[in-house]
């Protein structure tokens, strides 16, 4: 590691959290109050208490009588000092805790917002456990770091400076500079174990979080394959693998814990040498008891902050490991951006043009190769071809999940790259093969496409999708909970909910991606009626391996290896017995060409 790299790493570890203080723009007064009370706590702890000890012990242990008033002052002074110290500590801890939570809240929202804008390809090559761990586990570790650090980050350094100030003041006043040398020597020795152990803690924390990520991924995989695991009697094998991963996590955590817990005892041992030398020196020089008490108090009040700062260093190292992983996520290039100077569009007509479009997923070859087609408003177009021919890629490019490699896609004569993503996508309804349902009511799920829609519009959309009947027959009607992922609904019912969403959204462009391929004959018939109504007066793009939907199609585009190889109506292509379309049709019917 060269010097510049090492320098950047040190700077990141020290100030990596500072950039997120922008989340406190509406809490500046609270943050300022926390800083002021932290400084006052440090001064009252490190400087005032040793001085009060010196003053009080001189009066109490002097052989001269003191007045009642002075005795009252001497008795009350520690109480006042400790009460103020406690008040400053409470105010500082509360408001710094508040500010820490504001930063954490802002960071969590930033992470979630980033996930919404990550490239689609990122989700295809990244395990869900990675995102879950970084969104929840890493932010939880940061939460612990922020809460614990915010309690001490200002108080302890100021208390240490105050104690050093008291030592300097007492030693200069009484010519006991040797005490300062003892303190500084011991304090210097303390730095070395703190730095070495801090590096170990960060290293172990990073490894621990990586193994935790593996556990989360394993759990997600297990939950998504419950039926298959039981069908193949893999329960014991799965538990064994999970136990092994838990053992790895425990091992990593214990190694990190080992280094964390030895910091404080090491500092106490080194500090005891300083106190021992101070006692030896006090006996040899016959130092005054009041001065010795004050100096010993100042030494103790200086070593206690050092110990706390060492613990803060350990927590900051662990927090830095989590922050580093979070920033890896935040720094991922989004690739698909809004243009700098977008063309303002409202409701589009829906005339789509592919103009010499080519596209490839990385270095895996062309998914689309020089595609040029026109799709007019009000007609239904089918994209047909074998798996991997490029059908879904065309839909993804229209939605601008990816940008074309060469060529352009235009809607109403406007290159979609010149529109805002939101303006483009609010003109498109998408009905997938397996609709995503939230764990809410029937009404909530239909309104997912338009949260501002009235209940009357929801019912109207459900009727058009032929979903109103089965919803009304449910015990609680539109207030019926669908269960996680729509667990209480059949495949056909889920599809009709998805179609109702599209009706509610009411866009000029509709994309149906294998919307009926997973349904049985009865469910497909129910959904077919809803889809036929939905396609009216829209530009509809139908992606399907099944030919039962071709009765509503005006034009078929047949794709092979990313190229458009055949174009025509379903009837025209079926008359061409040597066409690819005819061959696919015959295979699906189970007959020979």
- Which pTM was predicted? 0.69
Range scoring the smallest mean pLDDT among 29-33, 164-168, 383-387? 164-168
Q: Domain 437-506 falls in which CATH fold? A: Rossmann fold (3.40.50)
Reduced to 3 states (helix: H, G, I; strand: E, B; else coil), residue 508 is coil
Structure-block tokens of residue 291: 């001065």
| CA nearest neighbour of 379 among 568, 575, 555, 581 | 555
Q: Are 112 and 131 in contact (CB under 8 A)?
A: no
Domains 343-427+510-524+543-593 and 437-506 belong to one CATH topology: yes
The residues spanned by each domain of the chain are 3-205+261-330, 343-427+510-524+543-593, 437-506
Q: Nearest 5°: phi and psi at 536? A: -65, 135
CA atoms within 13 A of residue 169's CA, in its CB half-sphere: 17
pLDDT of residue 563: 92
Answer yes or no: is pLDDT of 62 > 70: no
143 to each of 103, 137, 173, 256, 321, how far by Cα in Å? 9, 10, 45, 18, 13
Q: Nearest 5°: phi and psi at 377? A: -65, 140
pLDDT of residue 177: 57
304 to each of 96, 311, 420, how far by Cα in Å? 21, 11, 57
* 327-384 per-position pLDDT tens digit: 888 888 878 888 989 999 999 999 999 999 999 987 677 899 999 999 999 899 999 9
Q: Which CATH superfamily is domain 3-205+261-330 in?
A: ABC transporter type 1, transmembrane domain (1.20.1560.10)
Q: Domain 343-427+510-524+543-593 falls in which CATH fold? A: Rossmann fold (3.40.50)
Reduced to 3 states (helix: H, G, I; strand: E, B; else coil), residue 373 is strand
56 to each of 49, 59, 62, 275, 290, how far by Cα in Å? 10, 5, 10, 21, 8
Pairing of strands 428-431, 509-513: parallel
Q: d(Cα 138, Cα 319) in Å, to the nearest integer?
A: 8
CA atoms within 13 A of residue 541's CA, in its CB half-sphere: 30
- pLDDT over 70 percentage in the chain: 74
Range scoring the smallest mean pLDDT among 11-25, 96-110, 231-245? 11-25
Decide: residue 349, CB within 10 A, 0-12 exposed, 13-18 middle, 19+ buried: middle
Q: d(Cα 241, Cα 512) in Å, to the nearest integer?
A: 40
Q: CB atoms < 10 A from the CB of 104, how many?
A: 19
Sign (positive or negative) of CA dihedral 252, 256, 257, 262:
positive
């Amino acid at each position: 590691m060269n010097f510049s790299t090492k320098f950047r790493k040190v700077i990141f570890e020290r100030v990596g959290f500072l950039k997120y203080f922008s989340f406190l723009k509406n809490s500046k007064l609270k943050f300022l109050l926390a800083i002021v009370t932290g400084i006052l706590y440090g001064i009252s702890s490190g400087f005032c208490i040793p001085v009060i000890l010196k003053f009080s012990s001189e009066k109490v242990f002097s052989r001269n009588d003191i007045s009642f008033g002075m005795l009252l002052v001497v008795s009350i002074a520690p109480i006042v000092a400790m009460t103020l110290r406690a008040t400053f500590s409470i105010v500082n801890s509360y408001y710094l805790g508040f500010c820490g939570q504001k930063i954490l809240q802002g960071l969590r929202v930033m992470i979630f917002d980033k996930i919404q804008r990550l490239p689609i390809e990122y989700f295809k090559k990244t395990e869900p456990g990675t995102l879950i761990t970084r969104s929840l586990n890493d932010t939880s570790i940061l939460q612990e770091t922020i809460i614990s650090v915010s309690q001490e980050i200002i108080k302890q350094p100021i208390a240490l400076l105050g104690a050093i100030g008291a030592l300097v003041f007492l030693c200069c006043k009484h010519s006991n500079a040797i005490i300062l040398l003892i303190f500084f020597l011991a304090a210097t020795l303390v730095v070395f174990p703190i730095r070495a152990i801090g590096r170990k803690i960060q290293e172990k924390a990073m490894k621990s979080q990586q193994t935790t990520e593996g556990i989360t991924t394993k759990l997600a995989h297990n939950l998504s394959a419950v039926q298959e695991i039981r069908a193949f009697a893999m329960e014991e094998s799965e538990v064994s693998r999970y136990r092994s991963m838990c053992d790895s996590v425990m091992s990593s955590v214990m190694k990190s814990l080992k280094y964390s817990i030895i910091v404080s005892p090491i500092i106490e041992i080194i500090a005891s040498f300083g106190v021992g030398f101070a006692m030896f020196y006090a006996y040899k020089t016959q130092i005054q008891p009041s001065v010795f008490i004050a100096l010993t108090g100042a030494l103790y009040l200086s070593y206690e902050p050092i110990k706390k700062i060492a613990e803060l260093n350990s927590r900051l190292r662990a927090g830095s490991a989590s922050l580093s992983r979070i920033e890896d996520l935040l720094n991922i290039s989004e690739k698909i951006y809004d243009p700098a100077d977008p063309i303002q569009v409202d409701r589009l007509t829906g005339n789509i043009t592919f103009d010499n479009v080519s596209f490839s997923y990385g270095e895996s070859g062309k998914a689309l190769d020089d595609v040029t087609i026109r799709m007019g408003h009000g007609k239904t177009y089918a994209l047909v071809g074998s798996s991997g021919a490029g059908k879904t890629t065309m839909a993804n490019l229209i939605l601008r999940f990816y940008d074309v490699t060469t060529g352009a896609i235009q809607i109403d004569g406007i290159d979609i790259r010149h529109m805002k993503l939101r303006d483009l996508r609010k003109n498109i309804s998408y009905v997938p093969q397996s609709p995503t349902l939230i764990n809410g009511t029937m009404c909530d799920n239909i309104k997912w496409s338009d949260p501002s829609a009235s209940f009357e519009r929801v019912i109207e959309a459900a009727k058009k999708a032929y979903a109103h009947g089965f919803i009304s027959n449910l015990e609680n009607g539109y207030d019926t909970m669908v269960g996680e992922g729509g667990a209480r609904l059949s495949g056909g019912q889920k599809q009709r909910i998805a179609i109702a969403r599209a009706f509610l959204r009411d866009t000029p462009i509709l994309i149906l991606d294998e919307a009926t391929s997973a349904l049985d004959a009865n469910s497909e018939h129910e959904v077919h009626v809803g889809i036929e109504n939905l396609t009216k007066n829209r530009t509809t793009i139908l992606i399907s391996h099944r030919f039962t939907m071709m009765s509503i199609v005006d034009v078929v585009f047949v794709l092979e290896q990313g190229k458009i190889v055949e174009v025509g109506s379903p009837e025209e292509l079926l008359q061409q017995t040597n066409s690819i379309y005819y061959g696919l049709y015959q295979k699906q019917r189970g007959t020979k060409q």
